[in-house]
Amino acid sequence: MRSQCPLCVVKSGLDKGAPRVQTEERWKNFLTRDDGNPVALARFLDVTNVDLGRAWVDASRHWIEDVGGQRIYVGDLDVVPGRSALSFNRLLVEEYPSREAAIEVLSRSSSREEIGLRDRLVLALNPRSRSSRRLTALVGKIVRGIRPIRVEEVPEAKYPKGVSSGGRSSDEAQVEAFYARDQWQRFTMVNLNGMRETAQYPVAESSSRSNHASGREAYGRYARNTAIEVFRRGGNFLWVAKPMTVLVGDSDHPLGRHWSEFVLVGWPSRMAFRHLIADDSFTRGVVHRDAGLDRSIAIPGTPWPEFSRYSL
């Protein structure tokens, strides 16, 4: 079906801008541990040449389809100078039927310069099934249809900028970058969550139930509370996956750390998100989020028009 063996592809398509031996070893390990399940790639890119970057996105779509894959998402990310976790300006998400197929496509971009990049980080992930995504969207549409909320403008002064309650960085520069965008345009929140092994609740919130909860159980309580409110405002959990490893880039980068969950949430507008986190029904569940998560990164972004359909 394909002319090259998987390990030959590794040698022929390494990123000339990355340490060759290290990248080769990562790709070999990734292929030899193939479990036969579908796989996804999340490409965080720092695009410097817009025309080259766009041409590569268009060309690579055909490569993905040739191996039976699918591009799930393309969007631009909010950038905050001096913040390494917020230094990439574009995100692409793709699903593949196998690890071999993913590496074949990944190997076809042989250097950052050829595709207009200054830097990139590529994560391999284990995606949730498409049937699970369709079920989530169906539940969201039902909730939205039964209990919709009309989103009205939330003054900036009422926006909770301390992020223990908002789930975003408390860095003032990130808040400014968020507000600098069109607040009524569709947007996507990229979430990377690291779960605690055991939930850590404040003493005032402790109970026999919470004291014995795992981090995932605590976060699940937060997620169930929040999901309803997200759906009511037209948001949707469009894609969820478990990060596995870094295939290209610096594994010590904040985005390359060990994460429990990668979640893309599509929103009809940034104002809808502001409306959510200013509401008491959201803040009541934040104690479970903080108890369940050891760390998290949230990156706002703007989907390209052809990928903006995911909100409800």
Contact assessment for residue 188 and residue 266, using Cβ atoms and an 8 Å cutoff:
yes
Instruction: Tell me how far apart the alpha carbons of residues 254 and 27 are, in angstroms, rounded to a whole number.
Output: 21
SS3 252: coil
Residue in the block written with tokens 């605590």:
218
DSSP-assigned letter for residue 114: G
**Contact partners, residue 13, CB within 8 Å, separation at least 6:** 106, 107, 108, 109, 110
Tens-binned pLDDT, residue by residue, of the chain (312 aa): 454 555 555 554 455 544 566 788 999 999 999 999 999 999 999 999 999 999 999 999 999 999 999 999 999 999 998 888 899 999 999 999 999 999 999 988 757 777 889 999 999 999 999 899 999 999 999 999 999 999 999 887 444 444 443 344 446 788 888 999 999 999 999 999 999 999 999 876 656 556 689 999 999 999 998 999 999 999 999 999 999 999 999 999 999 999 999 999 999 999 999 999 999 889 888 999 999 999 999 999 999 999 987 766
Cα 310 to chain centroid, rounded: 14
Give CA–CA dist 153/275, Å, rounded.
Answer: 7
The residue behind tokens 């359909």 is 309
Q: What type of residue is 72? A: I
Could you give all domains of the chain from N- to C-terminal order, each with its CATH number? 6-127 (3.30.70.100), 130-241+248-307 (3.30.70.100)
Name residues whose C-beta falls within 8 Å of residue 256's C-beta, 6 or more positions apart in sequence. 121, 123, 246, 249, 250
Whole-angstrom Cα distance, residue 263 to residue 235? 13
